[in-house]
A and B are shown apart, each in its own frame.
Chain A
Amino acid sequence: MDRFAELLNRLSTCAERNGKLKLLSSYFREAPDPDRGLALAVLTDNLPVSFPMRRVLADLIPRRADPVLYKLSRDYVGDTAETVALIWKPEPRVRWNDLSLNAILTHFQSAKPKDMADILETALDNLDANGRFALLKFLGGALRVGVSARLAKTALAQAYGVDVGIIEEVWHALTPPYAALFTWLEGAGPKPDAGEAPFYRPVMLAHAIEDNDWQNFAPHEIAAEWKWDGIRVQIASTGTEAKLFSRQGDDISATFPEIIQAFAKTRGVLDGELLVRRDGAIQPFNQLQQRLNRKTVTAKMRAQYPAHVRLYDILYDDKTDVRALTFDARRQRLENWFTREQPAYADLSSLVPVESFEALRALWSTTRHEGIEGLMLKRRASPYLAGRPKGHWFKWKRAPLTMDCVLIYAQRGAGRRASLHSDFTFGCWKGAELVPVGKAYFGFTDAELKQLDKFIRENTVERFGPVRVVKPELVLEVAFDAVNASNRHKSGVAMRFPRIHRIRWDKPAQEADKLETLIGLIDKN
């Protein structure tokens, strides 16, 4: 348990992806079996049983803590597991010799529900503060240390110098605590049999198009599609089972049951965009956001924000790997596949004719509606390549909207930018008042960042913890892709993908834009 507790401890204060990978991979290499497998299970959301934490703690806490002191502590700490772990004064009546994660869990596995609180009490009595925290988080099933399932698998792959794709391939054939997986990775056993179940393949990503890219292809060599403002997904199905993966390979099937149902009987691996489509119309991104990151989904959510997949590529046609084929050949396969399988909640991303680049540009610059972000350009001759290969796929985002806003708050960044103010909140005028309309973290050069930082230090009027209130003098030209109505922000609007476009050192703050102008840009669907 000590090793796992230390891992959680370190992960909870490590903000960098690389740091997390390093912590996780050394844990996987060094921790004993089956504890490391159990840790992998909780990190990948594959814990076999759920523990009735709320009920058990309600029973247990009054036994060991004064209610007034517990409440004052809980209010201060802000997290139940941590409060219990810290307030606990161990009084072991029963000593457990084996304090491995696995040994502790074994005590719970055979227990009756009414004995759970007693067992947890003994377990907490046998552990130190970090161990108690780790156990409570483990039993709660959500560690909340900023590690996705995909990141955990990537760390595992790094630990043993294999490609994460291979881990994905065998993943579904494995069950916690993954003894066969570790035996194979350590070279002491055979590769687990991947069998039939669907799994994730790395996706192909696009580069933003640059001016000198255009000279490298002719109109007839390029296929164009609308770039939809949703999230990139992969659907893998075997005819008996379907799974939905995010671009990073996280299994998000449970969040979108209607998609799983629609694709369950199909066969293949498809690439597409997940959107919300209601009454035949694609809805703005913030409606899709209502459905993301949920473990379960209510019928009401499904009815209000119906999910839809717009398919644009095929990686496996049934069991045939078609990734080496050209875009044109795959497109033909995709169309045939769709005609054959006809899944509900799905359609094909239609091709936009490319007669000339001039005509395409005209279309690109005039289309701004219904969740379209711009155009995707794909070489007709390109195979489907994992990662972000150069020169094959290009995203051509429509020209952003821009507004002149005034910098009002700034906060220091993290990681590489730790010492500089790189997190900017800006506002627009509502009468004589500036109301915050968004936040941006990028869009400036390192040299500009230093200038901004200097401005902020010299113009701070007040501080609230890490946040500095800045004299409202600096105008930032903010670029963004769309504006949606939002009740989460005081201004009533939310910008999609805001970034600093230009710093207007020259422009007086009074000449910045008004909130009503921004409201006028809200997508009307």
Chain B
Amino acid sequence: MPPSPSWLHPNPNGLFCEPGGFYIDPARPVSRALITHGHSDHARSGHDAYLATSETVEVMKLRLGPNHNYQSTRYHETHNINGVTVRFIPAGHILGSAQILLEWQGQRIVASGDYKRSLDPTCAPFEPVACDVFITEATFALPVFCHEPADKEVARLIISIAQNPDRNHLLGVYGLGKAQRIIALLRQQGFTHTIWLHGALVELCKLYERLGVKLGDVRPVSEADAKTLKGELVLCPPSATHDRWAAKFGNAITSFASGWMRVRARARQRGAELPLIISDHADWPQLLQTIEDVEAPEIWVTHGREDALVHQLALMGRKARALALIGFEDEAE
């Protein structure tokens, strides 16, 4: 077996490409950062220079402020950074999300960031790229995580809304990606009704619309008289479903959309009366499928349940190691 490439390795700042002199999704301020996607544990403030897809740059402008040194790229565009060839490949996680393909001295490494293989009308689908080393996330790396088809879960939500004309639905979702994906899936299934938004989701939905993702009739719930709302769907950040803010919607059905909802105890802890198993991360079958697809002899495993995936990879005859990267929220989704 050839020795593991050593030109890309973790250090206290994050995942460092030595010949390129840049980091991928670094946790601490660095001079040059390549960002896979806009979630806050990947796209952080304080770097001297950023390179990301144009959609991710738009997200960062909104969340980190417009005055950083951002450089945009299209998918598949080739960049040469100090002799390292860099390309951004769709990862299917959220709008603008990318795997970062690095080539140096004939070796290919793909840092996939977060990814999924399932239906998402709001972003380009994951593209497998053959490589020597594939770096995978492990958020849902246990064989119990086999997410339901997202359209099936959304159909359950539509049925529940129809069955409860006297109660509002409060759906807890992450504001970037999950919210817009669910809205788009609802629209695909012919749900044309107004969807109300908690203030924290408004700007991100506007951004998606500006970038060409149609969300239909979405409005800030602050424009409505909460007391008169009945049988309506309100999207909010997960923490808000049990906050004081939620009280004004009366005896609402609290729902939460996340891959964690696969496990009933987690749904109960969340207090989700209608848990929806919708994830923007690869589930176990998708992780294994992807590892087959990229044909990489060596797999590096990051944030999540590394132990189970490393064990499974050994069973599959792959060389596997857990990369101890800091700063990623493996529980967040």
* Residue ID in chain A nearest B267 by CB atoms: A13
Chain A residue contacts of B142, Cβ below 8 A:
69, 72-73, 76
Query: Does A3 sit within 8 A of B, measured CB to CB?
Result: no
Which residue of A66, A73, A416 contacts B144 across the interface (Cβ within 8 Å)?
Answer: A73
Contact flag A87-B143 (CB < 8 Å), given A13-B274, A66-B315: yes
Pair A82/B242 contact, Cβ less than 8 Å = no
Q: Does B262 contact A (CB under 8 A)?
A: yes
Whether, in the assembled complex, A14 has its beta carbon less than 8 Å from a beta carbon of chain B, the answer is yes
A68 contacts chain B at the CB level, 8 A cutoff: yes
Q: Closest approach, in angstroms, between the C-beta of B130 and any C-beta of chain A?
A: 27
Contact of A419 among B145, B242, B311 (CB under 8 A): B242
In the complex, what distance in Å separates the CA atom of A65 from the CA atom of B142? 12
Expressed in whole angstroms, the minimum distance between the Cβ of B149 and any Cβ of chain A is: 11
Specify which chain A residues have a CB less than 8 angstroms from the CB of B308 in the assembled complex.
Answer: 68-69, 72-73
Instruction: Give chain B nearest CB distance to A150 CB in angstroms.
Output: 23
Whether B143 lies near A69 (C-beta < 8 A) is yes
B77-109 CB contact bits vs A (8 Å, 1 = yes)?
Answer: 000000000000000000000000000000000
Q: Are A77 and B269 in contact (CB under 8 A)?
A: no
Contact A72 B315 (CB under 8 A): no
> What 1/0 mask marks residues of chain B from 239 to 281 whose CB sits below 8 Å from any chain A CB?
0001111110001001000000011110111011111000000
Interface: B305 (CB within 8 A): yes
Contact of A86 among B262, B273, B305 (CB under 8 A): B262
Q: Does B312 contact A (CB under 8 A)?
A: yes
Tell whether, in the assembled complex, residue A78 and residue B265 are in contact, meaning their CB atoms are under 8 Å apart. Answer: yes
The reply to whether B247 and A79 form a contact with Cβ atoms under 8 Å apart is no
Taking CB as reference atom, which chain A residue is nearest B264? A12
The size of the chain A interface, using a CB distance under 8 A, is 31
Tell me which residues across on chain A come within 8 A of B274, comparing CB atoms. 13
Kindly state the interface size class of chain B when it binds its partner. 20 to 34
The answer to whether A418 and B273 have CB atoms under 8 Å apart is: no
Asked if residues A76 and B273 are in contact (CB atoms below 8 Å), the reply is: no
Indicate whether B307 reaches chain A with its CB closer than 8 angstroms.
yes
Least Cβ–Cβ distance between B331 and chain A, in angstroms = 11
Instruction: Indicate if B294 sits at the interface (CB-CB under 8 A).
Output: no
Task: Please give the distance in Å from A8's CB to the nearest CB on chain B.
Answer: 9
Residues of B within 8 A of A420 (CB): 244, 247
What is the distance, in angstroms, from A19's C-beta to the closest C-beta of chain B?
A: 7
Q: Which residues of A contact B273 (CB under 8 A)?
A: 13-15, 19
Residue contact A419 to B244, C-beta cutoff 8 Å: yes
Inter-chain CA distance A466–B273, complex, in Å, is 17
A148 within 8 A of B: no
Q: Tell me if B263 and A418 are in contact (CB < 8 A).
A: no
Note all chain A residues with C-beta closer than 8 A to B271: 15, 414, 418
Complex contacts, A79 vs chain B, CB 8 Å: 264-265
A-contact 0/1 string along B127-144, CB 8 Å cutoff = 000000000000000111
User: Can you name the residue of chain B whose Cβ is closest to the Cβ of A6?
Assistant: B156
Chain B residues whose C-beta falls within 8 Å of the C-beta of A73 in the assembled complex: 142-144, 308
Partner of A13, one of B145, B272, B305, B315: B272
Residue with the highest number of chain B CB atoms closer than 10 Å, among A15, A66, A68, A419: A419
| Contact between chains at A419 and B263 (CB < 8 Å) | no
Chain A positions within 8 Å of B251 at CB level: 416
Are A419 and B275 in contact, CB atoms less than 8 angstroms apart? no
Given contacts A72-B305, A418-B254, A419-B244, contact A87 B268 (CB under 8 A): no
Residues on A with beta carbons closer than 8 Å to the beta carbon of B262: 86
- Residue in A closest to B266 when the chains form the complex, CB atoms: A77
A274 within 8 A of B: no
- Contact with A87, one of B144, B244, B305, B315 (Cβ below 8 angstroms): B144
User: Smallest CB–CB gap between B146 and chain A, Å?
Assistant: 7
Q: Which residues of A contact B144 (CB under 8 A)?
A: 73, 76-77, 82-83, 86-87
Q: Tell which of A19, A78, A79, A418 has the most Cβ of chain B within 10 Å.
A: A418
Q: List 9 A-B contacts (CB under 8 A).
A: A13-B264, A13-B268, A13-B273, A69-B143, A72-B308, A76-B144, A76-B263, A419-B245, A465-B269
